[in-house]
Amino acid sequence: MMRVKLINYTPYAEKISAIAGKLCYAKCSFEDLEKISREEEKRFLKKVLKLGHLSVIEHTSFTFAIEGISRVTSHQLVRHRIASFSQQSQRYVEKRNFEYVIPPTIKKKKRLKQLFEKVIEQINNAYSEFLENGIPVEDARFILPNACQTRMIVTMNARELLHFFRLRCAKDSQWEIRQMANLMLKEVRKVAPILFKEFGQ
C-alpha cells in the first residue's frame, strides 16, 4: 500500500518565503522584516506567487518518506532533477517475496490479474533460485520487474514542488505518480497552505 509522510520541512516556510520576497522590494532591515505579521505574510506571499516571483520560495524545503510505490513511479520521480533522492537498493537489499503494484486496469479483470500474479510468482521463484545457487543479489535483481515496490526519501524546495504538482497532479499524469503527488500535496498543505493552495485535487 502506498504511504507518503512529510518527515521534515523548513520551519515557518511561508514566513521565510515572504521575508525573502519583501527583502527584494523594501529598504528595511532584517529585524524589521522578521516582524512581519501573519496577515501581511499571507498577503505578500499571494502577491509574489501571482507575479511569478518564485525564486523567493526556493529558501524552503520539504522532505517526504514514500513507500509502496512501484519502480515505474520511482523512475518517473527521479526525472525531477532539482531534488534529492535516496532509494532502497536492489543491490544490497534482498527482494525475496517482494511486494508489488498491480495497475487498476489489470486488477479489475480477474483473468488478467491472475496472469499478472502468476508471472510475479515465477519471477519470485527464479529470483530465489538464483540466490540459492550463489548468484549475487546485485545480479539476481536483473530479473525483478518494474512492478516491484520500493521506498524513497525525497527532498524538494517549494519551487520545484510547485512544478512537480503542476505536472504530476494533472489529470493526464500517469495514475500512480498522480496518486503519490496528491498525497504529497495533502501533507505540505498542512504546514504551508498558501504556498500550495492552487494545485491538485
- Cell digits for 43? 498577503
111, 168, 178, 189: the catalytic one is 168
87-112 as b/e, with b when 16 or more CB fall inside 10 Å? eeebeeeebeebebbebeeeeeeeee
Cβ pair 185, 136 in contact under 8 A: no
Q: Give the separation between CA 196 and CA 49, rounded to whole angstroms.
A: 10
70 by DSSP, 3-state: which?
Answer: strand
- Helix axis angle, 38-51 to 13-25, nearest 10°: 70
Q: Is 43 a catalytic residue?
A: no
- Which residues are catalytic, by number? 168
